[in-house]
Amino acid sequence: MFQRASPYWRAHPDGVENETLQQRGLPPIMIVHGTLDTLVPINEAHQFWKAIQLRREREKQQEQQQQQQQQQQQHSPGGGAATSVEQPESPKPRTISKPRTTSTPESTKAQEPVPQKHDVLVELPGAHHAFNFLLSPRTLAFGDAVNDFLRMAYETQRAAHAKPKL
């Protein structure tokens, strides 16, 4: 039961057993962690980030395989054999000043019907656990960053479901 409720387990590529959750995929994810957090080690944020990236890569590979299979079925009456794709290594997390995303290069965006989901890992130098409970300039900046992230996630979702103008 714990695994089903765990964000880490839901992000893990093999962690989701529920078919509906697999089809939905993960929402955009923002991880904010203080480098001096003694309650939850920063290593756990890195592990979560790695699991998210692996899951995103697997979803992307599955989508590409489905597209290849559909193209093969359209071009050959007998269908075609599926090809296997190796699992690449996930990117290593690092302290960042700009959001790191899982988006694709500009040249391939025009080919993709669904906007990419953006994930962000923010390591706050010198921040402890629950740094945002006390009002400070850092807390206000954190609130602005969360607001910006949620706005981006909303706009991406809205664009994905927008009706085409005729």
Long-range pairs for 73-80 at CB < 8 Å and ≥24 separation?
none
**pLDDT tens, 27-76?**
889 999 999 999 999 999 999 999 888 888 888 888 899 999 988 888 76
R_g of the chain, CA atoms, integer Å: 19
Please say whether the beta carbons of 28 and 119 come within 8 A: yes
Residue 136: predicted pLDDT: 92
Are the beta carbons of 31 and 8 closer than 8 angstroms? no
Bridge partners (DSSP) listed for residue 30: 120
Residue at 165 is within a domain: no
Tell me the percentage of the chain whose pLDDT exceeds 90: 37
Domain annotation covers residue 166? no
Q: Is residue 92 part of a domain?
A: yes
**Residue 111 and residue 152: Cα distance in Å, rounded?**
21
Q: Is 47 inside any structural domain?
A: yes
Domain count, the chain: 1
Domain region containing 139: 2-160
